């Protein structure tokens, strides 16, 4: 049986309903990305005000970390779905996003462990920059991965309609 592809397009062997479910997960993941961004900005502007430190038990920090856990889990799920169900580009883009999130988490831990404030030293700032930049890269890669899933859904839907 030939791999499920159509003139260079990847539709995998997941089926339309499975692809739609995966697309919904991708949308939920973007909501989580937004929640992480908002809580991160809230911590930066209102909790630390650029000067104070933030503790791990701060409620907004807990929401931020739970969001990060969900974000990692959802991105990882999309990656595994890509690998298992034969969607190479979805898998590779998501793998890049997962790797970015791992490095961003290490940056976040470095930020917390070395003081947790902008004036805590150079290493804290490095941690903060790593966290922010890699978060944006992960968002970018997840976006491409979602586009590929969306494309596969469109192709299958047009096939079903015709």
Partner 1 sequence: MKGPLETMDEVKARQGKWLAYLIYFQAAFLAITYAEGMWAALTVHNFSVTLPDVIEHGVASAGFAVTTGVVGFVAALRGHRGVAICNLVLFVITVIAGSTGFAFLSNTSDPGQIAQTNLSMIATVALGMPITGFSLIKISRASRGDSGSLSPVTIMIYLALGALALTVVAGAAMLSTSPSWYAFAVSAHVGVAALLVALVLGVLVTSAMGAFEGAGSVWEPQTVAYSLLSLGAATIAGADGVVFMTSGDLSYVEVMAEVGVLVYVFLMIASAGPFHRKSVGIRSEKITRAAP
How far apart are alpha carbons 99 and 113 in whole angstroms? 21
Q: Which position among 37, 38, 43, 86 is part of the footprint of partner 1 (CB under 8 A)?
A: 86
**DSSP per-residue letters across 69-110:** HHHHHHHHHHHHHHHHTT-HHHHHHHHHHHHHHHHHHHHHHH
How far apart are alpha carbons 116 and 137 in whole angstroms? 23
Q: Which position among 34, 113, 123, 136 is part of the footprint of partner 1 (CB under 8 A)?
A: 113
Minimum CB distance to partner 1 smaller for 78 or for 139: 78
Q: With binding defined as CB under 8 A, does residue 58 bind partner 1?
A: yes
Q: Which position among 43, 70, 92, 126 is part of the footprint of partner 1 (CB under 8 A)?
A: 70
Contact 115, 127 (CB under 8 A): no
Kindly list the residues in this chain that would bind partner 1 in the complex (CB under 8 A). 1-4, 13-14, 18, 21-22, 25, 55-58, 61-62, 65-66, 69-70, 72-74, 76-77, 80-81, 83-86, 88, 109, 112-113
């Amino acid at each position: 049986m030939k791999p499920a592809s159509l003139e260079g397009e990847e539709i995998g062997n997941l089926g339309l309903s499975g692809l739609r479910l995966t697309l919904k997960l991708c949308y939920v993941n973007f909501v989580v990305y937004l929640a992480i961004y908002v809580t991160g900005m809230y911590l930066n502007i209102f909790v630390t005000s650029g000067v104070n430190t933030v503790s791990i038990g701060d409620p907004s920090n807990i929401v931020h970390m739970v969001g990060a856990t969900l974000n990692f889990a959802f991105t990882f799920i999309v990656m595994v779905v890509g690998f298992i169900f034969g969607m190479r580009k979805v898998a590779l883009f998501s793998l890049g996003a997962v790797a970015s999130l791992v490095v961003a988490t290490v940056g976040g831990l470095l930020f917390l462990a070395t003081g947790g404030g902008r004036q805590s030293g150079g290493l804290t700032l490095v941690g903060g920059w790593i966290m922010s930049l890699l978060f944006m890269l992960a968002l970018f890669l997840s976006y491409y991965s979602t586009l590929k899933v969306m494309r596969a859904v469109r192709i299958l839907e047009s096939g079903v309609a015709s």
